[in-house]
Amino acid sequence: MATYRVNVYTGNLSPAAGAGTDANVYLTLYGELASSDELSLDNAGNNFEQGAVDTFRLRLRDLGQLKQVRIRHDNKFPLPGWYLDRIFIRNEDTDQEWEFPCNRWLAQDEDDGEIERVLDTA
């Protein structure tokens, strides 16, 4: 088993843009050795607020070198649109690090209307 630290960066747009979300967010990791199940990203905090960095620790089998992530939300609650800046992941056991830039909306009423993105490592 490996411990992955996942930092999710919500964009810091103008206050009127409402970049944060209260929707439920899900992440799937794709590595050269294996892929994770779809994982719910939730902790005790008020996650995914504008300009915030939310950290999650995941205990998973070793996935090897990460290639892609899939991130989505369930579009629930008022104003569910979310501007995702990037995702940074670190394998705490091997010190490997990956960054997955996004810089796009996951919103049905913004950008291309998609609430799911597949991101490649930078």
Return the ∠ at Cα 12 (arms to 9 and 15), rounded to 5°: 140
Structure confidence at residue 92 (pLDDT): 97
What's the pLDDT score for residue 115?
A: 98
Contact 119, 100 (CB under 8 A): yes
Q: 38, 41, 80: which is closest to 57 by C-alpha?
A: 41
What per-residue confidence (pLDDT) applies to 6? 98
Taking each continuous run of H as one helix and of E as one strand, the counts in the chain are 0, 8
Residue 101: predicted pLDDT: 98
What confidence score (pLDDT) does residue 45 get? 81
pLDDT at 18: 84
Residue among 76, 73, 99, 96 nearest 8 (CA): 99
Which residues have CB under 8 Å from 20's CB, separation 6+?
Answer: 10, 48, 49, 50, 52, 82
Rounded to two decimals, what is the model's pTM? 0.95
Domains, the chain: 2-120 (2.60.60.20)
Distance CA 100, CA 66 (A): 10
**Tens digits of pLDDT across the chain (122 residues):** 999 999 999 999 877 778 999 999 999 999 999 999 999 999 888 999 999 999 999 999 999 999 999 999 999 998 899 999 999 999 999 999 999 999 999 999 999 999 999 999 98
